[in-house]
Chain A
Amino acid sequence: MSTETQQTPSELKRLPLQQKHIDAGARMMPFAGWNMPLQYEGIVAEHEAVRQRAGMFDVSHMGRVWVRGSGAAHQIRAVSTYDTSRIPLGGTHYSLYCNEDGGIEDDVFIFHVGDDRWFVVHNAGNAEPDAARLAAATDGTAEDVGRETVMLAVQGPEAVAAVSRVLGPAIDQLKPRTCTEIEYNGETLLLSRTGYTGEDGAEIVMTPATGAALWDAFVDAGVTPAGLGCRDTLRLEAALPLHGNDIWPETTPYQARIGWAVTLEDGAAFTGRDALESESATPPKRRLAHLKLLDRGVPRPGYSVRDHEDTEIGTLTSGAFSPTLRTGIAMGYLPREYTDIGTRLAIEVRGQRIPAEVVRRPFYRRQQPDQESA
């Protein structure tokens, strides 16, 4: 046995709720410059809590920026791929920051909170360049609130009921992927019916003091604290790409099969448009494939993917044991001719070839209420 020791250098950024995590028994780890909770009770237990009941993530490490003013929608549109005019008031949408080559600098979530008031959430590892990008696009008026607010994600089939008990019925009235502002203890909170786990749920942005109070209130409402460990297995089961693993500045939206986050039809100019327009006309030679192992073994990022002649055709960008499916699942870029559903391949796991199959995404899809009775 050899287990790596974890270090928490003092230069790591501290979550405002760090003490809550430590009190809840968190095992902390460095992630994107932050000291983050990896797990509390255990990754699988927390994963199952989110899939079957409700779990709560502190995602305050993510970048958060307000963009306000009559030009806000256009300013965001100039640096991102999705047409902001298609996001109605109270709507949200996934989008991308691309470079001039069409490569993905970050994937982001855009909230149309109010008239001329927009909120953008960035990955923690890209938070500083992303905030600078929005500052440049807005003549410095964009307001980075990442370090002065807390963001909690409550996720799972019982999440909305728990949020409703604590914050009132506003969440019940929100449709999936919409947002609103609510008054709570004299403070305005941003509340949305969004998340990154493949489950129903809510995300809430607020001051650290309110974040601490709500953390306790959600625990009292039966919500399980959940760490980054299960956040990764949950998002992989939902086939959601992770920037830095599955998408990066040398990959494009079409290769990553998230072309639905790119709007070309409106004719708007945005960074990377020319490259994306020419790529959209010709299917990419390599694209992200979703693989399920057909035998025991755990696929990990970097493992080799091989065809029937044992030729390496790609490497995994994400891979894990799926607690829900009880099997190994993975993603990786492969030549297009190997990405048809049902294609048999092999993944090299420590010298052994484990058979795998290209499967439809997502690996896991939650039951919709209208399907449960069918």
Chain B
Amino acid sequence: MEFPEELRYTPKDEWVRQQDGEADIGITDYAQDELSDIVFVDLPEPGASFAKGDAFGVIESVKAVSDLYMPVGGEVLARNERLAEEPELVNESPYGDGWLIRVRLADPTELDDLLNAADYQAQLSSD
């Protein structure tokens, strides 16, 4: 399983890739493997704003429904429109074509609370 060094992670298995005050958000390789066979992703419209920890969407696999939580607060700038037709991209490429939303960070210091790849992996293995 892959956990890229340049990303930041939450204990609830989301990742954040920040660049110039914006951030892409997705779910980790571990999360997609646990869910397996993702068949539906419900994401917010651009313009919606969420605080850190808010539920912003839902991801459904054949076997389960899971809420998605904001790793950081911000306004939604874009959502991955391809997932409407190809939700399996989240399984195939969780850090690439399977990204979920792009946000404008409300408070970039919230990134400091997130886990680095090593700490996230350590937390997974301690579960």
Contact = CB atoms under 8 A, between A and B. Distances in A.
Interface of A: 1-5, 38-39, 42-44, 229, 233, 296-298, 300, 320-321, 323, 350
Given A44-B37, A296-B84, A297-B40, A1 B62 contact: no
A321 B37 CA distance: 10
B37 A42 contact: yes
B31 interface: yes
Contacts of B5: none
B35 to A, nearest CB: 7
Contacts of B59: 1
11 contacts: A1-B12, A1-B59, A3-B66, A44-B37, A44-B62, A229-B63, A233-B62, A298-B65, A321-B40, A321-B60, A323-B37
A255 B50 CA distance: 46
Interface of B: 10, 12-14, 27-28, 31, 34-37, 39-40, 42, 58-60, 62-69, 84, 127
A2 B36 contact: no
B14 to A, nearest CB: 6
Nearest to B39: A321
Contacts of B42: 350
Contact of B63 (A1, A43, A350): A43
A63 to B, nearest CB: 25
A1 B14 contact: yes
A321 B62 contact: yes
B13 A3 contact: yes
Contacts of A350: 42, 58, 65
A298 B60 contact: yes
Contacts of B14: 1
Contact of A298 (B27, B39, B67, B84): B39
B31 A229 contact: no
Contacts of B34: 3
Contacts of A39: 36
Nearest to B41: A296
A3 B63 contact: no
B18 to A, nearest CB: 19
A1 B94 CA distance: 13
Contacts of A300: 65
Nearest to B15: A1
A3 B37 contact: no
A43 B13 contact: no
Contacts of B60: 298, 321
A323 B63 CA distance: 12
Nearest to A350: B58
**3 closest pairs, A vs B, by CB?**
A1-B13, A321-B39, A44-B37
A2 B67 contact: yes
A2 B127 contact: no
A43 B65 contact: no
A4 B39 CA distance: 18
A313 to B, nearest CB: 23
Contacts of A44: 37, 62
A74 B117 CA distance: 67
A4 B64 CA distance: 9
B36 A42 contact: yes
Contact of A5 (B12, B39, B64, B127): B127
A38 B63 contact: yes
A299 to B, nearest CB: 10
A5 B66 CA distance: 13
A1 to B, nearest CB: 4
A43 B12 contact: no
A254 B13 CA distance: 47
Contact of B66 (A2, A42, A229): A2
Contacts of B10: 1
Contacts of A229: 62-63
A3 to B, nearest CB: 5
Contacts of B37: 42-44, 323
Contact of B27 (A1, A4, A43, A323): A1
Contacts of A42: 36-37
Nearest to B60: A298
Contacts of B127: 5
A1 B31 contact: yes
A178 B42 CA distance: 46
